[in-house]
């Protein structure tokens, strides 16, 4: 039997659950010792990675320092030096056992992986896909929010027209296995299974319905390709089944090719989108382009109530590495999502407001590389929190 206590500490709602027999305590879903209940301290893993990853992550951590001062919590941060560079230099691979070691944290702030000297995709699969798979981070949450009119590249559309959130399934699809290229010459065949399981679809679709219900428009669009890839009919079936539990959420279903067209022509029709791993990957890059570019897009790789990973959508951008010119807004946005995940909702919202105000006022000059120094953007956001 669980006893649930809801208390507010420093304006934060904390849901504390105590197991009646074992005395085990969780706070907002996380297992906690007694001293933590009052002190609000959080354990975070930091993986800067490659290229611009470490510098944008450092910028986000400055914003985290400011949030802690303002909202009265603390974090202990453990750095993990996982990168393609350490693979190239020392042959070091990241294993599932290494990733398992991250379960002691509440969340992971992640930078980027990718080094032109490393073989394509090897370390990305080990680390990014490894984290998603090993920690079963089945939701990839990708908000597509235009913070200012000048960031919207579409003619005759303004910031109010682009405000959607994509729930990308994050553990199945063509991403689960590496597949194989077999045969030689003209007999070569490249093959990889596109695999979906009922529980895998159900849990992400249910998450998306809950999310859609919590947003003002209460609309959920399923994106698939069930006309050509007929096995995706299973997504449609489950979408309708689970949708029956959410009569207050408006339902729409759309093929992915049409979705790319409508995202450009009529983005205002989208609110919450749920989709497969591969299609989610593709449409969220388009989504990032609708709100200013990859420099601003943030994402959360989430398992509700368990350690989850937050990252900018952009990659390591080696050509800008070490110059201090990359925009840290994707990483700072990821930090805002991380804070909400660990129960510091107020801090997360304040960071997002600071990004929006900074862009609208012009104190943040842009989101493309070189618009402003990385550390200056961090300062603008951090000062807004003071």
Question: Is residue 106 near Mg ion by the rule CB under 5 A?
Answer: no
Question: Is residue 124 near ligand IPM by the rule CB under 6 A?
Answer: yes
List the structure tokens of 213.
């219900």
Question: Is residue 281 near Mg ion by the rule CB under 5 A?
Answer: yes
User: CB of 323 within 8 A of CB of 370?
Assistant: no
**From ligand IPM, Mg ion, none, interface partner of 359 (C-beta below 5 to 8 A by class):** none
The whole-angstrom distance between residue 384's C-alpha and the CA centroid of its chain comes to 24
Question: Is residue 163 near ligand IPM by the rule CB under 6 A?
Answer: no
Question: Is residue 169 near Mg ion by the rule CB under 5 A?
Answer: no
Residue 158 DSSP label = -
Whether 281 is catalytic: yes
Region of 51 on the Ramachandran plot (φ > 0 left; ψ -120 to 50 alpha; else beta):
left
**At CA 320, angle to CA 319 and CA 322, rounded to 5?**
115
Residue that has been written with the tokens 């090897």 in this structure: 122
Question: Is residue 161 near Mg ion by the rule CB under 5 A?
Answer: no
How many residues at the interface with ligand IPM, by CB under 6 A?
5
Region near ligand IPM per CB under 6 A, out of 81-89, 122-130, 268-276, 364-372: 122-130
SS3 content of the chain, % helix, strand, coil (to 5): 45, 25, 35
The active-site residue, picked from 252, 285, 357, 376, is 285
Shortest distance in whole angstroms from residue 313 CB to Mg ion: 6
H helix or E strand, kind and range, residue 213: helix 198-214
Region near ligand IPM per CB under 6 A, out of 89-97, 124-132, 215-223, 241-249: 124-132
Whether 237 is catalytic: no
Whether 219 is catalytic: no
Region of 265 on the Ramachandran plot (φ > 0 left; ψ -120 to 50 alpha; else beta):
alpha
Burial class (CB in 10 A: 0-12, 13-18, 19+), 180: exposed
277-296 positions binding ligand IPM, by CB under 6 A? 281
| 128 or 364: CB nearest ligand IPM | 128
Whether 207 is catalytic: no
Catalytic residues, which ones? 175, 225, 257, 281, 285
Residues lying near ligand IPM in the complex (CB under 6 A) are found at 124, 128-129, 281, 313
Residues lying near Mg ion in the complex (CB under 5 A) are found at 281
């Amino acid at each position: 039997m669980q006893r649930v206590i809801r208390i507010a500490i420093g304006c934060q709602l904390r849901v504390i659950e105590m197991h009646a027999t074992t005395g085990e305590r969780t706070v907002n879903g996380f297992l906690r010792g007694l001293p933590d209940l009052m002190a609000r301290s959080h354990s975070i893993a930091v993986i800067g990675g490659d290229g611009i990853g470490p510098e944008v992550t450092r910028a986000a951590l400055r914003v985290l320092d400011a949030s802690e001062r303002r909202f009265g919590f603390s974090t202990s941060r453990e750095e993990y030096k996982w990168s393609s560079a350490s693979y190239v230099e020392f042959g070091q691979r990241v294993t599932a056992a290494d990733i398992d070691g991250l379960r002691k944290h509440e969340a992971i702030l992640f930078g980027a992986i990718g080094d032109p000297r490393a073989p394509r995709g090897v370390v990305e699969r080990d680390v990014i896909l490894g984290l998603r798979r090993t920690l079963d981070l089945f939701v990839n949450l990708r908000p597509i929010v235009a913070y200012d009119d000048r960031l919207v590249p579409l003619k005759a559309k303004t910031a109010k027209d682009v405000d959607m959130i994509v729930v990308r399934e994050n553990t199945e699809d063509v991403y689960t296995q590496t597949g194989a290229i077999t045969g030689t010459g003209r007999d070569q065949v490249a093959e990889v299974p596109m695999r979906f399981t009922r529980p895998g679809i159900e849990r992400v679709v249910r998450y998306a319905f809950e999310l859609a219900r919590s947003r003002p428009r209460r609309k959920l669009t399923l994106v698939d390709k069930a006309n050509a890839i007929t096995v995706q009919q299973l997504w449609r079936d489950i979408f309708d089944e689970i949708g029956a539990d959410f009569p207050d959420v408006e339902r729409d279903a759309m093929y992915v090719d049409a979705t790319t067209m409508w995202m450009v022509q009529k983005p205002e029709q989208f609110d919450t989108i749920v989709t497969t791993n591969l299609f989610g990957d593709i449409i969220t890059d388009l989504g990032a382009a609708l709100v200013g570019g990859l420099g601003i897009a943030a994402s959360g790789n989430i398992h509700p109530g368990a350690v989850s990973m937050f990252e900018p959508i952009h990659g390591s951008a080696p050509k800008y590495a070490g110059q201090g010119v990359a925009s840290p807004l994707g990483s700072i946005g990821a930090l805002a999502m991380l804070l909400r995940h660990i129960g510091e909702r107020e801090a997360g919202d304040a960071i997002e407001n600071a990004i929006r105000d900074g862009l609208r006022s012009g104190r943040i000059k842009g989101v493309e590389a070189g618009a402003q120094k990385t550390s200056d953007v961090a300062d603008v956001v951090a000062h807004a929190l003071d």
